[in-house]
Amino acid sequence: MDKEKYAKIEQSITPTTPILKNVFRAFITGGTICLIAQFIAVFYMTFFNFTERTASNPTVATMIFISMLLTGFGLYKKIGQFGGAGGAVPITGFGNAVISAAIEHKTEGYVLGVGGNMFKLAGSVILFGVFSAFLVALVKTILVKLGVATW
């Protein structure tokens, strides 16, 4: 079988990706997660001494905590299966990546298993997150120094 024939058969068998459907599901899932986070932020602003700016920290922590619980109970994978990137991109996806890796390697022991592999997936998120934050801060500092933007 030559390459072209193989490619033709492969294309005819492979199911087409429902891009629009996936995008819509991701939009709904990601949007719902952000809506819940907004409620939590408003809760912190209403009942505690947090401003719009400072409320983001406890909100992020709470969202990660909720996603960790949902991962532990096996519910977050259902959200991920339905929403795809909509479940992975928000900060809840980070909590899910940490806990799922910890659960997966629990049998290898708490130190070398859980401890050593917990940040297997999330490690890259932290690395590239910190690096991109550094780049953004650098660009913003330059823009502020030039007088184009304000802090």
Partner 1 sequence: MIIIRHLLLFLSLVFLLAGCVPNEFRFENRANQNISQAEVLVKEDERIKGAAALFYDDHLIVGIRVKTFSRFNKTKIASELETSLKELYPELSVLVSADSKILTETTKLILTSKDEDVKEDIHELIALVEEQT
**Which residues are near partner 1 by CB under 8 A?**
35, 45-46, 49-55, 150-151
Q: CB nearer to partner 1: give 29 or 96.
A: 29
Q: Which residues contact 98 (CB under 8 A, 6 or more apart)?
A: 68, 118, 119, 121, 122
Q: How far is the CB of 136 from partner 1 (least distance, A)?
A: 15
Q: CB nearer to partner 1: give 54 or 132.
A: 54
Q: How far is the CB of 47 from partner 1 (least distance, A)?
A: 11
Q: How far is the CB of 1 from partner 1 (least distance, A)?
A: 49
Q: How far is the CB of 151 from partner 1 (least distance, A)?
A: 8
DSSP code per residue over the chain? --HHHHHHHHHHHSPPP-HHHHHHHHHHHHHHHHHHHHHHHHHHHHHSS--TTTTHHHHHHHHHHHHHHHHHTT-HHHHHHHHTHHHHSSHHHHHHHHHHHHHHTGGG-IIIIIIHHTTTTHHHHHHHHHHHHHHHHHHHHHHHHHTSS--
Alpha-carbon span 13 to 7, nearest angstrom: 10
Q: CB nearer to partner 1: give 42 or 142.
A: 42
Q: How far is the CB of 66 from partner 1 (least distance, A)?
A: 18
Q: CB nearer to partner 1: give 11 or 150.
A: 150
Q: CB nearer to partner 1: give 55 or 101.
A: 55
